[in-house]
Amino acid sequence: MPVPECWQSMKTDLDIVMVATRLVEELGDDAVRLAKVKLVELIAANNLRAAAFWREVMRLCEEHTGATTPTPTGITRTQADASDTAKFAAY
């Protein structure tokens, strides 16, 4: 059975909002973690279209929960001063 043409051109923006909202309602702060795991799985499987969808879901889940993704080391990065960089380059 062919898919109607109007459905093929449908954007996924509302789908993203619906999935993110539902995840946050049911899982709370864990919604971000679930979306991130799903994103990593899809990137590993080289499914870029689905990965883009889950990347946006993760971003919206972060906005809904107010969570921010920590840096991998847990330490915030500071920008090096140009004079510091010049000193290290001289050695």
Q: What's the token pair of residue 15?
A: 């789908």
Q: How many CB atoms lie within 10 A of CB 19?
A: 19
* pTM recorded for the entire structure: 0.61
Q: List, for residues 8-65, the tens digit of each pLDDT value.
A: 444 558 888 899 999 999 999 999 999 999 999 999 999 989 999 999 999 999 998 9
